[in-house]
Amino acid sequence: MGSIFSFQQIINGLQLGAIYALIALGYTMVYGIVRLINFAHGDFFMVGAYVAYAAFYMFNFFLKVPQGNGMAFLVLIVAMIGGAVVALLSNQFAYKPLRYKPRLSSLVTAIGVSMLLEYLFSALPFIGPSPRGFPELLKKEMYHFGSAEISNYVVIDLLVAAVLMIGLTYLVRRTPLGKAMRAVSQDKDAAKLMGIDVEMVIGFTFAVGGAFAGAAGLLAGLTYPRIQPYMGILPGLKAFIAAVLGGIGNIPGAVLGAFIMGLAETFATAYNSLLGEGIAFVILIVVLLLRPNGILGEKTADKI
Amino acid sequence: MKSSVVSAFIAVALAGSFLACDKGAKEIKIGGVAPATGEAATFGASTKNGFDMAIAEWNAKGGVLGKQVKMSFADDKGDPAEAATVWTKLIEQDKVCAVVGTVMSKCSLAGAPISQAAKIPMISTSSTNPKVTLVGNYIFRVCFIDPFQGTVGAKFAFEDLKAKKAACIFDVGNDYTKGLSEFFKAKFTALGGQVVGYEGHATGTTDFKAQLTKVLAASPDVLYVSDYYNDVALIAKQARELGFKGPLLGGDGWDSPKLVEVGGSAVEGCFFTNHYSQDNTSPEVQNFVKSYQAKYNAVPDALAALGYDATNIMLDAISKAGSTDGDKIRDAMSKEDFKGVTGQVKFDGDRNPVKSAVIIEIKGGKQVYKTTVNP
C-alpha cells in the first residue's frame, strides 16, 4: 500500500498529466471562445503524432539531419504546425458554416470530423489501421533520483508542456491578440463592433489549440511509442474530462484538471489496476454532481 | 420472382445430388479451413501453405489408401458466422471425410459443433482455447493449449533462469493473456518461487507505468508479460525506463517481427514460448524448412508448421483407419503418436496434444532457438 504514493508514481502521474494538459488546453480554449466541445480535438492529437512520425523520417532519411536536440526541436515545430493546420481546416470547412446555427449541429459535426479523421487515416494505404512504433528521436538517458528512475523523456515532457503553457498565458494576458481572444469569448457581437476580426480570432484559437494537441501527439509518441489512428479517442476523452474538472473555458483550470487526472489515474491504477481506466469517468460524474462548473469555472447559466 | 427462387432451389438440389453420387470417386476428399482474408490473413496464408505442402507430399508418395488426396479449401475470414457456413458446406456439399482447421479459437468453436454433429473428425491447427476440443469426441487439435504455455514459461523461468521472484502483467480484457498469467502464477508458486506482483491493464492502453512501478517495487527477477507483441513492446520499453534489468517472458503472442521493430533494445535478451522454431536442429524441422523455402520462397512460421502437422496427422489417421468412416478415423486419431515438425504429438483424454514447447530468445534483434521444454 505504501508504494501507491511513491515518488516514482508521482512522476508517472505528472508525465501523463502533462500530455493531458496540452490536449485539455485546446478543448477549453475552443469552448471558451465559440462554446463548442470539439470532439475531434483528440484526433488533432493523433494527427500530430503521425506528422511527427513522418517529419522524423523525412529529416532523417531524405534531408540527413543528424539526430539530436536540434532535430527533435524541428520535429516538434512540424508536429505543432500539422496540428494547427488540421484544426484550421476543420474550423474552416466544418464549424464555420455552422457558427450561428443551433449549437447541437456543431457538436454533432465535431463527432463527424473526429470519425472522418480516424477512418481517413486508417483507410490511407501509407498509414493504415495497424499500429506503428514511434522512433526514438532522442537517446534515452536515465537519472537516479532517490528511489525513483527518471528518464530524460519525463523531463522533456514536463519542460515542453511548461514552456508552451507559459507562452500561452503570456499570449492571452499580455498581447493585443490575447485581448481580442478574451473579448470574443465574452461577447462576439460587441467585439465585432469594436473592430475585431472575430473569425480571424476564432481561427487563431483553433490553430493554437491544434498546435498544442500536435505537440502532445509528439510527446505521447515519444513516451508511449506506439501510434495508430484511434490513439486519440481515449486521451481526448480524458483531457475533455480534465477540462470539465478544471472548469471548461478556463485556461489554468484545464491545466490543473489535467494534472489531477494524470495523478488520479496513476494512483488508482497503482491501487488496483482495474480502477485506473475507470477513475476518469468517476471523476466526471462526481464533478457534474457536486460542482458542475468545475474547480475554477465561473457560474454560467447554460452548458452543454 | 418466385419461379427464380424455385429454380435456384432445384439447381442447388441437382448440384447436391450430383455431388452425392460422387462416392465411388478415385480420390479422398478432406476439408481445409483457414482465414485467407480478414484480420488474421497472414496467419491464414501460412496455414494454407502448410496444408498444401503436406497434401502434395502424400500424393507424391502415392496418396492415402491408394487414392489421391484432394482438399476442399474454404476461407472462414476470421469470422465465426462465416466459419459455420463454410463448415456446413464442406460437410454437406463437398462430402469431405475430415476437416483440418481452423486458426482462430472463435472460428473453431463455431465449426466444431457442426463436425461433431455430422461425426466428421476435425483437427484444429492453432486454436489454443481449451474449450475447442471439449465440444466433443471428434474434435482434436495439434497446438498446445493456453494453460500449457504459462506452465512451461514458469518452469523455464524457475529452472533455467533460476528466478526466485516473478511478476505478471496481463490484459484484463483478453482470456488468452489472462489464462497464460494464471497458469504461470500457479506453476511458478508450485515450484517454490514467489509471484511478487500480479497486475492487469485495460485493453488498448499505452501507459503501463503505474502497474510497472508497483510490481517492480518488489524487485522481481523476471517479468511475465502474456500480452500480444504490440503491448509487449511498450511494456518492455517502459519497464526499462523504470530501471528493470531482468528478462521479460511471454507466450506465442510475441511471435511477430513488430516486436523487435517497436521494442528495439528493450526486448533484447527476453524469452517466449512458441510452437516451433526454424532453428531447431532436428531433421524433421530442417527438412520441413528446406522444402517449404523451396516451394514458397519464405521461412515457415509456426502457423505453417502447425497446418502442415495437422494435415499429416489427419492423413496418417485415415491411412491407419483403412477407411474414410468418421468413427474409424477418430479411433485411429486417438491412438496417434506422430513425430511432427512441432514436436511429438500424442493426444490426451481431451484430445489435446501432449507435446513440447520451444523457448525462443530475442538476441541481436532476431528470434533465436534457445531450448525445448517438455511438459
* Domain regions of chain A by residue span: 7-127+134-231
Check if B287 contacts A (Cβ < 8 Å). Answer: no
In words, the CATH class of domain B147-274 is: alpha beta
The backbone torsions φ and ψ at residue A100, rounded to the nearest 5 degrees and listed phi first, read -105, 20
Mutation to test the B interface, candidates A46, A273, A275, A277, most B Cβ within 10 Å: A273
Distance from CA of B13 to the nearest CA of A (A): 42
**Which of A142, A225, A273 faces B237 most closely, judged by CB atoms?**
A225
Is B2-143+283-355 a domain of CATH 3.30.750.24?
Answer: no
Selected residues 319-338 of chain B with any CB under 8 Å from a CB in chain A: none
Chain A CB contacts of B219 under 8 Å are none
The predicted pLDDT at position B314 comes to 95
What interhelical angle do A7-34 and A233-246 show, nearest 10? 80
CB spacing of A133 vs B204 below 8 angstroms: no
Distance from CA of B211 to the nearest CA of A (A): 6
Intervals of chain B under pLDDT 50? 1, 14-23
Residues (pLDDT < 70) of chain A are 1-3, 299-304
* Residue B204 to residue B184: CA distance in whole angstroms: 23
With b meaning 16 or more CB within 10 Å and e meaning fewer, what string describes A36-64? Answer: bbbbbbbbbbbbbbbbbbbbbeebbeeee
SS3 B123: strand
Residue A275 region by backbone torsions, left for phi larger than 0, else alpha for psi between -120 and 50, else beta? alpha
Out of B210, B243, B258, the one facing A149 most closely (by C-beta) is B243
ipTM beyond cut 0.90: no
- Write the DSSP assignment of A116-137 as a string of letters: HHHHHHHHSTTT-SS-EEPP--
Residues of B in contact with A277 (CB under 8 A): 202, 205
Q: Could you tell me the residue ranges of all domains in chain B?
A: 2-143+283-355, 147-274
Name residue B52's amino acid: D
Q: Among all chains, which residue has been given the C-alpha cell 490543473?
A: A256
CA separation (Å) from B132 to A125, A174, B351? 36, 68, 10
Tens of pLDDT, residues B14-43: 444 444 434 456 789 999 999 988 767 778
